[in-house]
Each structure stands twice: as structure tokens, then as C-alpha cells.
Amino acid sequence: MRLLLTAGCCAALCAMVLPVSTSAAGEDEPPLEEILVSGEYPGPGLWKVSKPAGESEHVLWIFGTLFDTPSGEPTALKWKSRQVEKIVAESQELVYEYQFGLTFEQKVGVFTILRMLPTALKARKNPDDKTLADLLPVDVYPRWQMLKAEYLGGSDGIEKWRPFIVAERLRDKAGEKLRPKFSGNQWTAVNQLVQQNRLRLTMPTYEVKLPNEKLRESMKAFVAKPLNDVECLDVTMKLVEFWGDDAAVNARALAWARGDLPALRALPPLPDPDGSCMAALLGSQAVQDLHLQGLDDPAASGARAWLEAVDKALADNPSTLAILPVDELLKENGRLSMLREKGYRVEEPI
């Protein structure tokens, strides 16, 4: 789950905080070494969620996705889940993972946004001319230099950027470069069936609205204050390092394609920078001074929005399909635990 900003909000709150992508020429990546056993695997199983016996025949099926960006599986891996195809054909609605959004209380005109851009552009840089060498711990900075050379080239301008903006650029550029060794998105295998069967698509969204009148003052405060965003970059680097580790990627992909839950549980969870990156942005003094309701725990609020969408879908449909990251489904206190607390019966894939 990554933070969603409206176009106006993106320009005004942190705007160019998410840097504009620039194309960089690079050598073609060598093909992924085929260390996976050839052949077709049955694909992941689905979690089954239902009311206790006798209350309702309606069912929710949850498909656990494997990776974040770069989406897909190693090119040597082939899987085909006939169970997923069957469930899609029988279902009426598809519920996605929740998204967290920031919007304005009132519409913002394009000229207002343009007037804010000079301030927004300054928001990229660390206050007091700090560089990443000044901010990153001594054991983290050398790793950053290696990843920067591999995925971002030799420009030193990025060294002055805030860590959470650097994290976003690194994540995007590494995803672009590594994507050729991955096949299509896991969901592509059944997306055509979703379209053919015209499933209703539901994207639960937890949204916080920014007050327009305090925006300019908040932007200036955002530029002037440092953020607690070193962890955001560190965890993003760990995610990118994982993507580049063929053995780790293949071990995870193979366990997933076989539906081997014990093997997946035995593997380290996928590094997830979203929480720390969101906390860095939303925990900034400038945002806190807005006194926005609902920012105390965005992840919990987003999970509630997802649960509300699932409740409604289960009440309305004989069969509903949902997709969540498989790591979320393997958590002891994750979304499945919340469903059990609400009285649902949850059955793991066999």
C-alpha cells in the first residue's frame, strides 16, 4: 500500500517531493539464471472466509500476491491456478487492498498550484544543506552508494534530497531496471477472466482532507523542518537488495507457486518500507500542526476501510474475491485475525 495524493495535493503538500522520473540509458540486464525447476506449478491456494455454519452461504476468497514492484514472478517460473480461475468465474465482486489518500477540503485551481511550485520544489532538499552522507548511519551510507551507482547513475544532486524522496526514486528506478527478469504481474494470469465476467471492482480508500487555508503556511514549515525519514530509505534499500538477490527471489516465488505455506512462513518477510515512509511524511511537524483527524494510525484506519468493504461484499454476494499481499495473510495479528475477531470462519489453503 502506497500513499495516494491528488494531483493538487501532491504539488502543494509535498508536491515535487515525489521526483519526476527521468529516463537513463543503461546496459540490458542479463537474463535471470534459471535455477528454478522447469515445469508448471499449481499456483497459490486461496484463503476461504465465511460466516459460521447455518448463518450464510456467502463466501470470500482471498488471493495472496507475492511481490510488490517489480510485479511478477521470475521468468523461469510458470504457474497456473485452476482454483483461482474457477473462483473468478463464479464471483461477483473483486475487493482490492486499501489505499490511503490525501485530498483537499475544497478544489484547488491550477494557478494556485503553480504559485506553490517554487516552495514545493524546495521541499525536495534537506534543511540546512544536509546531505545523505550527513544523515545516514555509517553502515547504511556505503550500501546507498552501491545501490545509487547500480540504479541511479552518478549524479550527485540526489545527495541533497530528503531520504524519503530518495527512497521513492530508488524504488521506481530499481523496479524499472529489474522488471525484465520478472514475468507479467501475478494478477495478469486471471485479469482477463475478471474483465470477461464483469466483476464489480472495489478499492477501499481511507481519505484525509487537508484544509486549504493552512496550506501555504504548512508548505513553508515543511521546507524548513527535517523529517524522521532515514528508516524509510533504509528499508527501501533492503527491498531493492532483495529484488536483486536471485536466490532469495526464487525461493520465495517457488514456495508461493507451490502453495507451500510452511516454506513461506520460514522465509524472512518481504521488506516493507511503506509504513516507515508514510510515518515520516505524516509525522512531520508541518502535517501534525494541521491537526488532521485520522492520522493517529493510518494503517489501522485503512484496515477498517478494507474490513467494511469486505463486510458489505459478503452480505451482497454469494462469492467475492479479494487480493492481499501474502505476507499480510501470514501475520499472526493481520487482517485474517481481524476477520476472526468479527466472527468469520477463516480456512487456510489446503
What's the pLDDT at 188? 67
Which among 135, 163, 156, 149 is positioned nearest to 235, based on CA atoms?
163
Q: Which residues are paired to 205 by β-bridges? A: 99
Secondary structure in 3-state letters for the chain:
CCCEECHHHHHHHHHHHCCCCCCCCCCCCCCCCCCCCCCEECCCCEEEEECCCCCCCCEEEEEEECCCCCCCCECCCEECCHHHHHHHHHCCEEECCCEEEEEECCCCCHHHHHHHHHHHHHCCECHHHCCHHHHCCCCCHHHHHHHHHHHCCCCCHHHHECHHHHHHHHHHHHHHHHHHHECCCCCHHHHHHHHHCCCEEECCEEEEEECHHHHHHHHHHHHHCCCCCHHHHHHHHHHHHHHCCHHHHHHHHHHHHHCCHHHHHHCCCCCCCHHHHHHHHHCCHHHHCCCCCCCCCHHHHHHHHHHHHHHHHHHHCCEEEEEEEHHHHHCCCCHHHHHHHCCCEEECCC
Supply 281's cell numbers. 511524511
The C-alpha cell 495524493 sits at 5
- Tell me, yes or no, whether 23 lies in a domain: no
- Tell me, yes or no, whether 160 lies in a domain: yes
- Tell me, yes or no, whether 213 lies in a domain: yes
In terms of residue numbers, what domain contains 123?
4-18+39-347
- Tell me, yes or no, whether 203 lies in a domain: yes
- Tell me, yes or no, whether 31 lies in a domain: no
- Tell me, yes or no, whether 158 lies in a domain: yes
Which among 257, 228, 252 is positioned nearest to 239, based on CA atoms?
252
CB of 347 within 8 A of CB of 47? yes
- Tell me, yes or no, whether 29 lies in a domain: no
What's the pLDDT at 61? 96
How many domains is the chain built from? 1
What's the pLDDT at 298? 78
- Tell me, yes or no, whether 25 lies in a domain: no
CB-count exposure of residue 14 (10 Å: 0-12, 13-18, 19+) = buried
Indicate the pTM of the whole model. 0.81
* CA distance linking residue 213 with residue 229, whole number of Å: 27
Per-residue tens of pLDDT for the chain, all 350 residues: 655 544 344 444 444 333 333 334 344 444 433 344 456 788 788 999 998 766 778 999 999 988 776 777 787 777 777 888 889 999 999 999 998 876 766 565 555 554 555 555 567 888 888 999 999 999 999 999 999 999 998 778 899 999 999 999 999 999 999 988 887 666 666 777 788 888 999 999 887 777 666 666 766 777 777 888 999 999 999 999 999 999 999 999 899 988 899 999 999 989 999 888 888 887 777 677 666 666 667 788 889 999 999 999 999 999 999 999 999 999 999 999 999 999 999 999 97
Backbone angles phi, psi at 100, to 5 degrees: -110, 130
Supply 71's cell numbers. 510485479
